[in-house]
Amino acid sequence: MTATVRHNASSPGVTRRGFIAGTGSLIGAATLAGHATPAYAQADPGAHVQALVIGTGYGGSVAALRLAEAGVEVHMVEMGMAWDTPGPDGKIFANTTAPDFRSFWLRTRTRQPISQFLGFPLDKNVPCYTGILDAEDFGGITVYQGRGVGGGSLVNGGMAVTPRRENFGAVLPSVDVDEMYDVYYPRANAGLGVSDVDPGWWETTDCYKYARVGRKHAERSGFPFVFVPNVYDWEYMAQEATGSVPKSALAGEVLYGNNHGKKSLRQTYLAAALATGRVTISPLHKVTSVAPVSGGGGSGGGGSPGYAVVIDQIDTGGATTATQTVTADTVFFAAGSVGTSKLLTRLKATGVLPGLNGEIGKGWGDNGNVMCGRANHLWDPTGKLQSAMPTAGIDNWAAGGAFAEVAPLPTGIETYASFYLSITNNPHRAEFSWNAGSGAVELNWRTAWKQPSIAAAKTIFDKINSKEGTIYRTDLFGAYKIWGDHLTYHPLGGAVLNRATDNHGRLHGYTGLYVIDGSLIPGNASVNPFVTITALAERNIESLIATDFQALRR
């Protein structure tokens, strides 16, 4: 076994006190955010764990924290990197405007969401590496996902949106709305460190000029303009603006990680989970199979027979360097909508978990994501300094089925552009299926299914363009292409609550297997999803701990 211990007190919000990477061993020990004690005493191959969590995003982090607080020993397995070591430029994360080997998951060429600018292609060749942003291509859509300890919280814009109460019932009809809004949304927002930008500062700072222009245009066309909370540290951003601290959001950092300022899960739920002393994390480990242990023998999880979990250890080129099997009393699928759906679809189809029900892989949607830009007049600039953290949106959900985030274009130059990511009420749902011939899980989404999203977004932007005498940008997504309709940032569904699982995430057919991530939400959340994923996870884990984990609690 090799062991390395490094000190890196200057890394952004993550103080690396100890990290042990065991060659050929299953579990490394990771500590985050100033917890001096290594989180894990090295596990032996063939180890037995009480709760194994697949993935370290929102659902997984909530599960790990609450289980550990209840006395359960938790191992988290994460296929992405630890992201605690600076690169050659002294920074952990690459800038949005200068992607490098750290930026993309196992690609030799970047696949930037905005692929062109003023007629010039933006993508470039990069070394193949286990980078932070996965642009996963399916037949009709590219699904962007975060990879690493912290999951999507590493790469996202931090927009922490609680949906309108009247829309929630359509999203998750089997969930008690009062409980969600009285207990679990507040708990999630507190746990995530969500807060509002200071309105006085927002009104005057250069870095939100683009958002003020967005508000002016929205209001002149009669649309409700709403402020949206974020997990960014606003005090830090104000200091960035005065030049007293290293810049992150104001240097355009977001898509490939924030070196400072953003409270990702590493500073919140994961830090709290590790502080319990009962949670350990294995980065660069990928779960490939979960199978019932024949003959049983599990010690808890509501009579669970125990599961054999097969885990590949990978290197930064993506090659498998070791494969090991761990026995777990309980397994939480928290690999994100795509990761969890792919695993469950394959395990069901290949006879490893044949008792899963027919809802596995179904109900997947893109949260109605569609992007567009508008070209403003030369007398209406949006500013060359743009904070990469969005703060506001245009809410036309009730009238036109679209909630449009007023998004930055942090290029460092004046673009005279307004840019938007719309979340729309798109009715299409796709399904994952196993292709035995290719040995891959496929998704039957079609690009044409974005048409309802485009129509919904047009209810806002056609009207604004008409009022302002402006036009759509046609240079961002390909030559003369107005709509960014090839992608989603918000994959949801595939193991939907109360269909593939019971009403608290227990997978049908197997005691001790749970889903606790975005795959529970049936394709649309009506707003940016991570607060809802977190709140639902808080709701479900509280109930599961009270019922299924009595035997494991200390």
Rounded Cα distance between 96 and 388, Å, is 9
The residue range among 71-79, 82-90, 445-453, 544-552 that interacts with ligand FAE, by the rule CB under 6 A, is: 71-79
| Contact (CB, 8 A) for 509 and 534 | no
Token pair 């397995």 in the structure block, residue: 77
**Nearer residue to ligand FAE within complex by CB, 291 or 551:** 291
Tell me how far, at minimum, the Cβ of 189 lies from ligand FAE, in Å.
12
Rounded Cα distance between 507 and 352, Å, is 14
The residue range among 52-60, 82-90, 244-252, 478-486 that interacts with ligand FAE, by the rule CB under 6 A, is: 52-60
Rounded Cα distance between 159 and 423, Å, is 13
Q: Among 73, 240, 405, 431, which one carries the catalytic annotation?
A: 405
Tell me how far, at minimum, the Cβ of 265 lies from ligand FAE, in Å.
8
Tell me how far, at minimum, the Cβ of 7 lies from ligand FAE, in Å.
25
**Cβ atoms within 10 Å, residue 90:** 8
> What does each C-alpha distance from 409 to 166, 252, 258, 267, 478 come to in angstroms?
32, 9, 16, 26, 16
Q: Which residues pair with 133 in a beta bridge?
A: 104, 146
- 336 contacts ligand FAE (rule: CB under 6 A): yes
Q: Which residues pair with 392 in a beta bridge?
A: 227
How large is the C-alpha radius of gyration of the chain?
22
| Contact (CB, 8 A) for 249 and 225 | no
Indicate which single residue of 529, 536, 541, 545 sits in contact with ligand FAE (rule: CB under 6 A): 529
Tell me how far, at minimum, the Cβ of 261 lies from ligand FAE, in Å.
14
**Nearer residue to ligand FAE within complex by CB, 463 or 490:** 490
Within 301-330, which residues bind ligand FAE (CB under 6 A)?
A: none
**Strand boundaries in 397-544, DSSP class E:** 402-407, 417-424, 432-435, 440-443, 471-472, 487-488, 513-515
Within 435-494, which residues bind ligand FAE (CB under 6 A)?
A: 489-490
Indicate which single residue of 159, 272, 430, 507 sits in contact with ligand FAE (rule: CB under 6 A): 159
Tell me whether residue 405 is one of the annotated catalytic residues.
yes
Indicate which single residue of 185, 202, 269, 530 sits in contact with ligand FAE (rule: CB under 6 A): 530
Within 77-106, which residues bind ligand FAE (CB under 6 A)?
A: 77-80
End-to-end CA distance of the chain, in Å? 32
Indicate which single residue of 19, 58, 93, 445 sits in contact with ligand FAE (rule: CB under 6 A): 58
- 152 contacts ligand FAE (rule: CB under 6 A): yes
Indicate which single residue of 255, 270, 392, 464 sits in contact with ligand FAE (rule: CB under 6 A): 255
Q: What b/e sequence results for 49-76 when a residue is b if at least 16 CB atoms lie within 10 Å of its CB, and e otherwise?
A: bbbbbbbbbbbbbbbbbbbbbbebbbbb
Annotate 357-419 with DSSP letters as a single string.
-TTTT-SBB-TT-EEEEEEPPTTS---S---SS--EEEEEHHHHSEEEEEE----SS---EEE
The closest alpha carbon to 77, from 256, 325, 364, 338, belongs to 325
Indicate which single residue of 114, 274, 334, 482 sits in contact with ligand FAE (rule: CB under 6 A): 334
- 147 contacts ligand FAE (rule: CB under 6 A): yes
- 339 contacts ligand FAE (rule: CB under 6 A): yes
- 59 contacts ligand FAE (rule: CB under 6 A): yes
Tell me how far, at minimum, the Cβ of 432 lies from ligand FAE, in Å.
13
Q: Among 253, 490, 504, 542, which one carries the catalytic annotation?
A: 490
Which residues are catalytically annotated?
405, 490
Q: Which residues bind ligand FAE (CB under 6 A)?
A: 54-59, 77-80, 144-147, 151-152, 155-159, 255, 286-287, 334-337, 339, 343, 489-490, 517-518, 528-530, 533
